[in-house]
């Protein structure tokens, strides 16, 4: 294995917090209560209230004077401290953001009369329990920072993250950006939506859906220092949507970005290099509404949203198919400056993307200390000309849309919106034990279809030499169905006064299964290859079908031990990953069994034969390493230590060690696919266009002893073979990343803190 060592020194000034646990969408309030002499006070009633809680939560301080409210929703809280013989104190305005462990200590003064003191609390910015490196974006930051309106532009603003593009004015919001941080591959990123791991494991590291930006309450991006809830070393993206409260509230928006608002920055020098028109925004509209409130106050809430983005962008040199525009195209090839940029842009086709997004959330207090919640997301992407370019004219572009199906492997498909949903039940057994269980389904179904249905039987054309890479007539159709089902159980237990300190235990178990079904075919089951416009080669295809199954089993446990000014975090997680390919039957290529070319080709006489390549095949499925199967099993330790230098939570030094293990997926090496012979398969042979119609007929294929090219793993000598040349090494092990972070955090004011970190990774 080849590794990389990454050394980084970061200095960050953050106005809204310094660290966060990577895979959380909640936070925590905890602390200690003492009297004016410094003696701890057990038995103090601590009441936590907030508009984001259906019912207030109540705890009593332990024999060490401590209390804890774990996994509370993000929001603004008040904490009330009450004990007979002491003044009651209410601290208001405590803001809890994603993953923040907010320490709220209190000193109670003796009083002979019953009185309550209310103060505005200073929200802590330094987290004593967490060494994570992240950036958090509150609702105010999401709305106030001028940028395009999608999560990827927010990720771009995070320290240590490098993006593959700039999303100017929202022109790229219809396509996901790629990004990396601290040397981790893109396939190691993790996406979490309202606590659900929605990471697309077929396009590993990507999101399966697009988002309604105004439906987001808060967002955080983590680039290191993750606790045991994070498996991989990549960027952790946590999105939290809004929810109902005891008051009705809502908002709406309508944004327009138009061609008339933008300047032209395409210079003559750029035009001479091929950027003749640039990629101008033609028109972008973003509008939607969100609202929520009580069904019954203190008992049940509901919230919902609808958002739509209509993105129209011109593609460089992607001209309309009109006589005037095609004449302009021809002239510009001879002289890129023969028309003005303004004139060329009037001839550009539109690459249009429609993003429709629906959200619905319901929360209910089912009985005392128990809460049930349900969340639904419908996300649809429709695109009219995906992959458009000067080498991919309109008829060769994809139409992208969501799809549904009646039965796996059936030929009946229809357009439809992919749907995701989650059920969660949380029960607080006591002020020391809380357990939460959830089930989630993520729908991720879409089709990259022919630009027109009538092109299904039309063979594409491809120019090899001049202009190299030019497609024509048609292209291909690919259907993807990628459902994810997961079950998560988490528990938090508080054990005070053990071994001289307080223990906060966190335990989690996850079961997850990802499917990746695909169908693919080329127009006319082949494409015709030309050299300078002369028929040259026939690339013949057999339809591909595949259903991959990825199975994950994860377990983690962590203890956060606090004693005085010290906090020690010790955790470990176990990851089990394996995959398989389901049985599948594939029809023969239409060219199979047809007579081939009979005549003279390049001085050699060929006698017509029956084309016996790409026959029908039935595959019994496969596991990695054949019948035995193969799984990647990894233990990953995490150790963190922090020390409060001044005892007020404002000056903290931290050390953190973490080992991460790679997540298995489509782009990071699923194993069993190496044994699958029914993927989309091709063979390429010389072609003589006898009837000069520029389309391939079977009797025009020059059946040479060996193809010019063929799919890796296919055996043209034994076309019906049910195995491939691919193998999986029985000693294959997973990749690991080791990370050490040493940092110092200091809070300088009520809303300002700085931190310096040294990060080592291999």
Torsion angle defined by CA atoms of residues 108, 113, 114 and 115, in that order, rounded to the nearest 10 degrees = -70
What is the C-alpha separation between 685 and 699, in angstroms, rounded?
12
Find the mean pLDDT for residues 601-611: 93
Model confidence at 691: pLDDT above 70 = yes
Instruction: Flag the least confident range among 304-308, 438-442, 645-649, 724-728.
Output: 724-728
Domain chopping of the chain, boundaries: 19-124
Find the mean pLDDT for residues 376-400: 93
Cα atoms found within 13 Å of the Cα of residue 541, Cβ hemisphere only: 21
Buried b (16+ CB within 10 A) or exposed e, 703-725: beeebeebbebbebeebeeeebe
* Digit-coded pLDDT (tens) for 529-564: 999 999 999 999 999 998 889 999 999 999 999 998
Predicted confidence at residue 628, as pLDDT, reads 64
Find the mean pLDDT for residues 154-167: 90
pTM over 0.75: yes
Model confidence at 671: pLDDT above 90 = no
CATH for 19-124 is 2.60.40.1120
Model confidence at 186: pLDDT above 70 = yes
CA angle 651, 657, 660 (to 5 degrees): 135
51 vs 125, more confident: 51
What is the C-alpha separation between 359 and 212, in angstroms, rounded?
9
155 vs 1, more confident: 155
Model confidence at 152: pLDDT above 90 = yes
Which residue matches tokens 């013949």? Answer: 540
Predicted confidence at residue 225, as pLDDT, reads 86
* Digit-coded pLDDT (tens) for 308-351: 999 999 999 899 989 999 999 899 989 999 999 999 999 999 99
Helix (H) and strand (E) counts in the chain: 5, 47
Predicted confidence at residue 45, as pLDDT, reads 95
Instruction: Flag the least confident range among 45-59, 136-150, 468-482, 499-513.
Output: 136-150
Model confidence at 236: pLDDT above 60 = yes
What is the C-alpha separation between 310 and 300, in angstroms, rounded?
34
Length reported for the chain: 762
Q: Are 670 and 548 in contact (CB under 8 A)?
A: yes
Residue 378's pLDDT band, with cuts at 50, 70 and 90, is very high
* Digit-coded pLDDT (tens) for 465-474: 989 999 999 9
Residue 414's pLDDT band, with cuts at 50, 70 and 90, is low
Mean pLDDT of the chain: 89
Token pair recorded at residue 262? 């933008």
What is the C-alpha separation between 213 and 139, in angstroms, rounded?
10
Find the mean pLDDT for residues 91-97: 91
Model confidence at 724: pLDDT above 90 = no
Instruction: Flag the least confident range among 40-49, 691-700, 750-759.
Output: 750-759
Instruction: Flag the least confident range among 113-122, 505-514, 620-629.
Output: 620-629
The DSSP call for residue 455 is: G
What is the C-alpha separation between 641 and 563, in angstroms, rounded?
12
Predicted confidence at residue 115, as pLDDT, reads 77
Predicted confidence at residue 627, as pLDDT, reads 59
What is the bridge-based pairing of β-strands 445-449 and 622-623?
Answer: unpaired
Find the mean pLDDT for residues 384-399: 93
Model confidence at 200: pLDDT above 80 = yes
Question: Cα-flanking dihedrals φ and ψ of residue 351, to 5°?
Answer: -95, 105
The DSSP call for residue 256 is: E
Predicted confidence at residue 22, as pLDDT, reads 43
Predicted confidence at residue 408, as pLDDT, reads 46
Residue 285's pLDDT band, with cuts at 50, 70 and 90, is very high
Find the mean pLDDT for residues 274-293: 94
Find the mean pLDDT for residues 11-23: 39
What is the C-alpha separation between 591 and 701, in angstroms, rounded?
10
Closest by Cα among 699, 697, 701, 674 to 687 = 701
* Digit-coded pLDDT (tens) for 584-593: 999 999 999 9
Residues whose CB falls within 8 Å of the CB of residue 267, separated by 6 or more in sequence, listed in order: none
Torsion angle defined by CA atoms of residues 84, 90, 91 and 96, in that order, rounded to the nearest 10 degrees = 90
Predicted confidence at residue 8, as pLDDT, reads 41
Predicted confidence at residue 14, as pLDDT, reads 37
Question: Cα-flanking dihedrals φ and ψ of residue 324, to 5°?
Answer: -65, -45
Residue 703's pLDDT band, with cuts at 50, 70 and 90, is very high
Find the mean pLDDT for residues 18-22: 40
Predicted confidence at residue 13, as pLDDT, reads 35
Closest by Cα among 175, 162, 168, 165 to 148 = 168
């Amino acid at each position: 294995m080849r590794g990389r060592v990454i050394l980084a020194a970061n200095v960050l000034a953050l106005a809204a917090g310094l660290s966060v646990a990577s895979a959380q969408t909640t936070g925590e309030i905890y602390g200690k209560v003492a009297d004016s002499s410094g003696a701890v006070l057990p038995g103090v009633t601590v009441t936590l209230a907030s508009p984001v809680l259906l019912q207030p939560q109540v705890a009593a301080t332990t024999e060490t004077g401590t209390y804890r409210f774990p996994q509370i929703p993000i929001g603004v809280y008040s904490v009330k401290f009450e004990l007979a013989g002491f003044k009651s104190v209410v601290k208001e305005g405590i803001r809890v953001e994603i993953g923040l462990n907010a320490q709220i200590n209190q000193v109670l003064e003796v009083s002979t009369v019953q009185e309550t003191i209310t103060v505005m609390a200073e929200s802590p910015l330094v987290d004593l329990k967490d060494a994570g490196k992240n950036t958090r974006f509150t609702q105010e930051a999401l709305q106030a920072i001028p940028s395009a309106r999608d999560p990827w532009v927010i990720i771009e603003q995070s320290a240590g993250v490098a993006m593959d593009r700039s999303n100017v004015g929202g022109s790229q919001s219809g396509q996901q950006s790629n990004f990396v941080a601290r040397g981790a591959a893109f396939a190691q990123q993790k996406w979490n939506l309202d606590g659900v791991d929605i990471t697309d494991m077929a396009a590993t590291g990507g999101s399966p859906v697009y988002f309604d930006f105004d439906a987001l309450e808060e967002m955080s991006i983590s680039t290191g220092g993750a606790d045991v809830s994070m498996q991989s070393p990549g960027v952790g993206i946590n999105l939290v949507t809004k929810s109902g409260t005891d008051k009705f509230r809502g908002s709406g928006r309508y944004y327009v970005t138009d061609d008339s608002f933008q300047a032209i920055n395409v210079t003559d020098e750029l035009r001479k290099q091929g950027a003749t028109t640039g990629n101008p925004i033609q028109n972008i509209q973003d509008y939607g509404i969100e609202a929520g409130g009580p069904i019954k106050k203190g008992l049940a809430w509901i919230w919902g949203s609808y958002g739509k983005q209509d993105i129209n962008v011109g593609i460089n040199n992607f001209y309309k198919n009109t006589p005037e525009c095609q004449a302009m195209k021809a002239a510009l090839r001879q002289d890129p400056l023969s028309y003005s940029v303004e004139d060329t842009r009037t001839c550009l086709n539109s690459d249009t993307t429609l993003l429709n997004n629906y959200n619905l959330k319901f929360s209910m207090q089912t009985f005392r200390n128990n809460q049930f919640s349900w969340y639904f997301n419908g996300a649809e992407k429709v695109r009219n000309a995906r992959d458009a370019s000067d080498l991919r004219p309109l008829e060769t572009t994809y139409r992208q849309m969501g799809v549904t199906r009646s039965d796996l492997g059936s030929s009946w498909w229809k357009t439809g919106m992919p749907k995701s949903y989650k059920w969660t039940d949380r029960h607080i057994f006591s002020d020391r034990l809380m357990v939460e269980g959830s089930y989630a389904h993520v729908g991720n179904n879409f089709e990259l279809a022919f630009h027109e249905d009538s092109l299904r039987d039309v063979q594409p054309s491809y120019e090899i030499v001049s202009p190299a890479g030019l497609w024509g007539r048609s292209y291909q159709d690919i259907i993807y169905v990628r459902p994810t089902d997961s079950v998560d159980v988490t528990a938090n237990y508080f054990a005070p006064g053990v071994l001289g300190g307080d223990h906060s235990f966190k335990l989690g178990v996850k079961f997850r299964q990802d499917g990746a079904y695909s169908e693919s075919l080329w127009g006319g089951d082949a494409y015709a290859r030309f050299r300078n416009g002369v028929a040259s080669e026939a690339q013949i295809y057999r339809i591909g079908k595949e259903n991959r199954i990825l199975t994950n089993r994860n377990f983690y446990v962590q203890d956060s031990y606090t004693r005085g000014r010290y906090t020690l975090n010790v955790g470990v997680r176990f990851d089990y990953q394996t995959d398989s390919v389901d049985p599948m039957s594939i029809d023969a290529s239409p060219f199979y069994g047809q007579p081939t070319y009979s005549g003279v080709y390049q001085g050699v006489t060929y006698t017509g034969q029956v084309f016996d390549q790409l026959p029908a095949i039935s595959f019994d499925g496969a596991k990695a390493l054949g019948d035995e199967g193969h799984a990647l099993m990894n233990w990953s330790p995490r150790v963190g230590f922090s020390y409060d230098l001044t005892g007020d939570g404002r000056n903290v030094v931290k050390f953190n060690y973490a080992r991460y293990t790679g997540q298995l997926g489509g782009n990071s090496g699923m194993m069993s696919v190496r044994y699958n012979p029914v993927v989309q398969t091709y063979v390429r042979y010389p072609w003589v266009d006898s009837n000069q119609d520029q389309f391939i007929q079977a009797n025009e294929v020059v059946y040479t002893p060996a193809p010019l090219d063929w799919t890796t793993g296919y055996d043209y000598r034994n076309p019906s073979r049910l195995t491939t040349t691919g193998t999986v090494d029985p000693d294959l092990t997973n990749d690991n990343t080791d990370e050490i972070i040493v940092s110092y955090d200091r809070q300088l004011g009520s809303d300002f803190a700085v931190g310096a970190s040294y990060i080592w990774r291999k």
